[in-house]
Amino acid sequence: MAVFNISYGITSALEGGYANHPKDKGGETYAGISRKFHSTWIGWPYIDKQRRYGNLKTNQIFPKLNEYVKTFYTREFWDKLHCSALDQALANQLFDYAVNSGKGRAVKTLQAILNQLGESLLVDGVIGAKSLAAIAKHDQSNLAQLLHKNREVFLKKEAQNQPAFAQVWSNRLNTMKEYLPSAGVSLGLLTIVGISLFFLTKN
């Protein structure tokens, strides 16, 4: 079973602190939490209060918000993705992909991979009992490798539309690659990457 603090430690280091990049579709964020999509997060009033004392700096960290951030990611990502039921390697990849690009896309990618491995899942972006049962039937080290490979193809395509983030995404992919199992994916399984990506780009 995967441990939240391990995955969270990896992802939180990548997300950093405060950001408000003009080209970020998520707008203003703190530790990866978007005000646009999570306007009711308990940490925003504190951040607004700090702004009164001067401009906020990029990557500025507010230690008082640490527990609020962890609680948010536990409730909104870790628990909803059922990461505790996964092996650590797969949980690391799924969690970080979801935080960076959305739960729906990350889960749909995994479900599409499982379907190409012989499952018959509804690709709905939600991890439920059927998805968990399907995951349990397969080598989760291979699933982690394939998830990362699909994500790599997706982000390279996204970088063409958002070149300002190309290097950041490349660095993130390289970091996440370090947390993959050492065993490689067979050439047969690699063919799944293109097929599932094609499916996802249609939605």
CATH, residue 25? 1.20.141.10
Look-up of token digits 């909803």: 80
Q: What does the mean pLDDT of the chain come to? A: 91
Number of domains in the chain: 1
- Beta-carbon contacts of 67 under 8 Å, excluding residues fewer than 6 positions away, are none
pLDDT of residue 153: 96
pLDDT at residue 26 above 90? no
Tokens of 89: 């390697």
User: In what side-by-side order are the strands of the sheet with 33-34?
Assistant: 18-19, 29-30, 33-34
pLDDT at residue 186 above 60? no
- Indicate the pLDDT class of residue 183, thresholds 50, 70 and 90: low
pLDDT of residue 25: 82
CA–CA gap between residue 55 and residue 51 (Å, rounded): 6
Determine the structural domain holding residue 92 and report its residue range: 4-201
Q: Is residue 130 a contact partner of residue 121, using CB atoms and an 8 Å limit?
A: yes
